[in-house]
Amino acid sequence: MFKHPFKNNSAALAGFQNIQKKLNQQRKLLRLVKASLNDNVASHCLHINSSSKNITLFTDSSIWASKLLYLRPTILEALSLHFGEQIHTLKIKVLTKQIKPTLTFPKPPSDTAIKSLSVTKDTQTSDKLNISMNKLIKTLKRNKLLN
């Protein structure tokens, strides 16, 4: 059914090729900028984006952004040599970290807590607290958290 999804749609394929071409240009520019900087600063240059004569360089923290702003003339000179014309606009932005939510699981009860619960179980009172404690102990046993 979907053997040739782009057989009659060469425009979509051309669009993918344009995206790939743009990504390759960005990688080349990033290598160029990193080559013009020392290794310590270059390692914090993450991505570069260019449109006409506007260049945006992305870094991982505001500290490195301020250092890159200090090195702006060096970067602009390297980019101007690459493009063959004067580049005037260089923006430096900080990429925010993507925080992925992690699943947290409850901690199993400690040995001290288990012993305390077992001692409480041995008392034979019929108040609401004791009934609740007995239910808790049964649940822990059923879930194999309590021996």
Instruction: Tell me the per-residue pLDDT of 28-51, one tens digit each, with 9 for 90 and over.
Output: 999 999 999 998 999 899 999 988
What is the predicted pLDDT for the residue at 34? 93
Q: Are 68 and 90 in contact (CB under 8 A)?
A: no
127 and 71 in a common domain: no
72 and 131 in a common domain: no
In a domain, 101, yes or no: no
Name the pairing type of β-strands 45-51 and 54-59.
antiparallel
Residue 69 CA to its chain's centroid (Å)? 24
Q: How confident is the model at residue 3 (pLDDT cuts 50, 70, 90)?
A: low
Nearest Cα residue to 34 out of 59, 15, 17 = 59
Q: How confident is the model at residue 146 (pLDDT cuts 50, 70, 90)?
A: very low
Q: Residue 55 forms beta bridges with which residues?
A: 50, 90
Nearest Cα residue to 64 out of 78, 89, 43 = 43
In a domain, 68, yes or no: yes
What is the predicted pLDDT for the residue at 33? 92
| DSSP count for the chain of H helices, then E strands | 6, 3
In a domain, 52, yes or no: yes
In a domain, 31, yes or no: yes
pTM here is 0.57
CATH of the domain at 30: 3.30.300.180
62 and 24 in a common domain: yes
What is the count of structural domains for the chain?
Answer: 2
For residue 135, the enclosing domain spans 111-142
20 and 63 in a common domain: yes
21 and 53 in a common domain: yes
Looking at per-residue pLDDT, the higher value among 128 and 77 belongs to 77
In a domain, 2, yes or no: no
